Structure 1
Amino acid sequence: MTSVDHLRQVRLGNLRTVLLALVDRPGSRADLAARTGLTKATLTNLTEPLLAGGILVEEPATLAGMGRPSKPLRFHPGGPIAVGAEINVSHLAVETLGLDGETLERRLVPADMRRATADEVLDQVAALIREVTATTDRKVLGAGLAVPGVVHDGVVIRTPNLPELVGVRLADGLGRKTGLDVQVDNEANLAALAHLWPRHLAGEDFVHVTADVGIGAGVVLNGEVYRGVSGFAGELGHVVIERDGIRCTCGSRGCVERYAGLDVILREAGRRRLDSLRRALAAGDAKALDAVRKAGEALGVGIATLTNLFDVPTVVLGGSYAVLYDHLHEAVRSEMDGRVLAGGERHTRLLASPLGEFAVVRGAAGLVTRRAVQQPERLFA
Structure 2
Amino acid sequence: MNDIRPWRTIERRQSRQIMVGSVPVGGDAPITVQTMTNTPTEDVGATIDQIRRCEDAGADIIRVSCPTADATEHFDEIVKAATIPIVADIHFHYKRALEAADKGAACLRINPGNIGSSERVAEVVRAAKANGCAIRIGVNAGSLEKDLLEKYGEPCPEALIESALDHIKLLEDHDFHEYKVAVKASDVFLAVAAYHGLAEAVDCPLHLGITEAGGLIGGTVKSSIGIGNLLWAGIGDTIRVSLSAEPEEEVRVGFEILKALGLRTRGVRVISCPSCARQGFDVIRTVQALEERLQHIKTPMSLSVLGCVVNGPGEARETDIGITGGGNGKHMVYLSGVTDHHVQSGDMLDHIVDLVEQRAAQIEDEMSDAGNADAVAAE
| TM norm structure 2 | 0.28
| TM norm structure 1 | 0.28
